[in-house]
Amino acid sequence: MQHDIRFIKIETIIAMKKSTFTTRNALLLMAGLFMNQFVFAQTTTITLQPNGTFGKDAFIDSRLSNLNAGDHPDFAAMSWTNGGAHVDVRGLIEFDLSVLPSGSTINSAQLSIYSYESPANGSHSSLSGSNKSLVRRVTSPWNENTVTWNNQPSATTQNQIYLPESNFTIQHYLDIDVTGLVLDMVADPTNSHGFLLKLVTEEHYRRMVFASSDNPDPALHPKLVITFTENEVTPLDTACFVIRPSADRGKDAYIESRLNSSNFGHHPDFPAISWTNGGIHVDARGLIKFHLEELPIGMAIASANLSLYSYNSISNGSHSTISGSNEAIISRIITPWYEETVTWNNQPAITNQNQVYLPASTQSIQDYLDIDVTNLILDMIADPDNSHGFQLKLITEEHYRRMVFASSDNPNPNLHPKLEICFSIPNSVEESDNQKIDFNVYPNPAYDYVIVKFNNLGPGLASIDITDATGKLIAQKSASKSELLIDVSNYSSGIYLITVYSDDFISTKKLIISK
């Protein structure tokens, strides 16, 4: 696809200039904030809203399964009938991401699609049921001029976005957060070829109808807004924390609509269920919060993966799709809740921002391992006051369907939920040009002691400061010999910085304490 500069809007903000710190106090401040990456950060926002000449989208139709409609004015997800025959329609669109500089950090990506009354396909409809839809990443190449229903490209459910049912026949979907999808596209361009729009349930009569880039009204063309940062940084190391609480340290709960005032803060299950009990419909959801305060402050999150373990619960059984798909959603909780008092009636609020989709199970006992919740964790760290864990619920709360996992209160510790977070950490703080002292820190990671070994200390004293990840000064030492043993047995697990300095020298190295 060609790129037309006329459809790109660029806004540039200089966030920070490269700095050099030479004094002890400045370096300690820099270490505490981890600004030692010496970032020249240029934040840029681009808006991609191509027209029919430069855009790439297509309308594919199961009835006309060999027909190409690469110049169709609609970008749609439909399930309908035509002449009594069932018809499914999906939309394909690809934006030109080659405008992004190599190595840029994607801060956000938002997709806006605009509805209208199509002469061919009408407007949004939920005549027979919900028209909720999904936006997925296309993983195989396709050609706008040859793509059809029969040769349509493959797509992945990874980080797919859920579009809720429309409330009006003409309803735009603005600023859809597709950050996770665009991050995947940038990370794996070979297997990234745009977006697929499809209904969650492809049963007639229901549809979502938007304008494509071929629509005669340019104000309705699909729009992708990406904000990114071009960074020049020093190399980073990566460390990973695994958070897997037991019953006494975990915070999770089971809430259900039948016993809507009862608290189940110590239930062995972490489920998403829609069932009946005594002929009464019952919905159940799971709540869980991991203690992210265990993470070093200021770290750059590289990845976050959640693993949930299924089993045959005495009270709730195992995964089931008796009446339909048990696909589920993990959402960020945005209001406080208490394990000992939470119920269905006072359950906390959630946001659909960056929510994560769990596909339907294919077996009754099926673990969901390494679920990518990176964007949810990034949101939690960016907005801790409005972040209180995860909620698990079915996408369709209609009996009979369920997902059943073990909670941190489960008697089998091997089944407790696990969150693994990997983050980037600076390998070394800026050293002066006239470096005179070379030192090593070992063992690293350390448990009860650490040795600072100097290779060329020379005459005189060297001062040593130990700070934690927040920049708080933990200890001060001085050295006049080639080795200094430091007792760290009372230090908590985490990342620390050891800074060595003299009158004309300063250098910092990382220390990991692992208990």
Chain-centroid distance of CA 250 in Å reads 22
Comparing 121-130, 166-175, 496-505, which segment has the lowest mean pLDDT?
Answer: 496-505
Please tell me the distance from the alpha carbon of residue 62 to that of residue 324, in angstroms, as a whole number: 23
Chain-centroid distance of CA 367 in Å reads 20
pLDDT band, residue 298 (cuts 50/70/90): low
Q: Is 120 helix (H, G, I), strand (E, B) or coil?
A: coil
Which position has the token pair 């409809």? 125
399 or 510, which is more confident? 399
β-partners of residue 217 are none
What is the distance in angstroms between the CA of the first residue and the CA of the last residue of the chain? 54
Instruction: Give burial (CB, 10 Å; 0-12/13-18/19+) of 29.
Output: middle
CB of 237 closer than 8 Å to CB of 510? yes
CB of 431 closer than 8 Å to CB of 294? no
Query: Which helix or strand (DSSP H or E) is residue 181 part of?
Result: helix 179-187
- pLDDT value of position 42: 61
How confident is the model over 202-208, as a mean pLDDT? 95
How confident is the model over 5-10, as a mean pLDDT? 32
Q: What are phi and psi of 77, to 5 degrees?
A: -130, 115
Angle between helix axes 374-382 and 179-187 (nearest 10 degrees) is: 120
Angstrom CA distances, 288 to 84, 246, 309, 407, 498, stand at: 48, 12, 14, 8, 36
How confident is the model over 465-493, as a mean pLDDT? 82
For residue range 8-17, what is the model confidence (pLDDT) as tens digits? Answer: 333 332 222 2
How confident is the model over 344-366, as a mean pLDDT? 95
For residue range 304-342, what is the model confidence (pLDDT) as tens digits? Answer: 999 999 999 999 999 999 999 999 999 999 999 999 999
CB of 74 closer than 8 Å to CB of 209? yes
| CATH 2.60.40.10 segments of the chain | 431-513
Polymer length in residues for the chain: 515
Please tell me the distance from the alpha carbon of residue 361 to that of residue 404, in angstroms, as a whole number: 10
For residue range 164-193, what is the model confidence (pLDDT) as tens digits? Answer: 999 999 999 999 999 999 999 988 888 999
Which position has the token pair 């190399």? 235
> Which candidate, 197, 201, 199, places its Cα nearest to that of 222?
197
Strands (E) located in 114-215: 133-138, 155-163, 173-177, 195-199, 206-211
For residue range 231-258, what is the model confidence (pLDDT) as tens digits? Answer: 544 444 566 778 888 777 789 999 999 9
Q: Is 351 helix (H, G, I), strand (E, B) or coil?
A: strand
Q: Which residues, in sequence order, are CB contacts of 441 under 8 Å at separation 6+?
A: 450, 451, 452, 453, 498, 509, 511
152 or 232, which is more confident? 152
- pLDDT value of position 45: 86
Comparing 28-37, 162-171, 229-238, 297-306, which segment has the lowest mean pLDDT?
Answer: 28-37
435 or 419, which is more confident? 419
Please tell me the distance from the alpha carbon of residue 24 to that of residue 383, in angstroms, as a whole number: 32
CB of 134 closer than 8 Å to CB of 163? yes
pLDDT band, residue 4 (cuts 50/70/90): very low
How confident is the model over 18-28, as a mean pLDDT? 36
Q: Which residues, in sequence order, are CB contacts of 67 under 8 Å at separation 6+?
A: 61, 148
- The mean predicted confidence, pLDDT, of the chain is 84
| Upstream peptide bond of 445 is cis (omega within 30 degrees of 0) | yes
- What pTM does this model have? 0.46
Q: Is the pLDDT of residue 29 over 60?
A: no
pLDDT band, residue 366 (cuts 50/70/90): very high
CB of 388 closer than 8 Å to CB of 348? yes
How confident is the model over 440-454, as a mean pLDDT? 82
Is the Cα dihedral 174, 176, 177, 180 positive or negative? negative
Fold assignment, 431-513: Immunoglobulin-like (2.60.40)
Comparing 429-433, 456-460, 501-505, which segment has the lowest mean pLDDT?
Answer: 429-433
- pLDDT value of position 508: 79
pLDDT band, residue 505 (cuts 50/70/90): low
Q: Is the pLDDT of residue 418 over 70?
A: yes
- pLDDT value of position 493: 80
92 or 497, which is more confident? 92
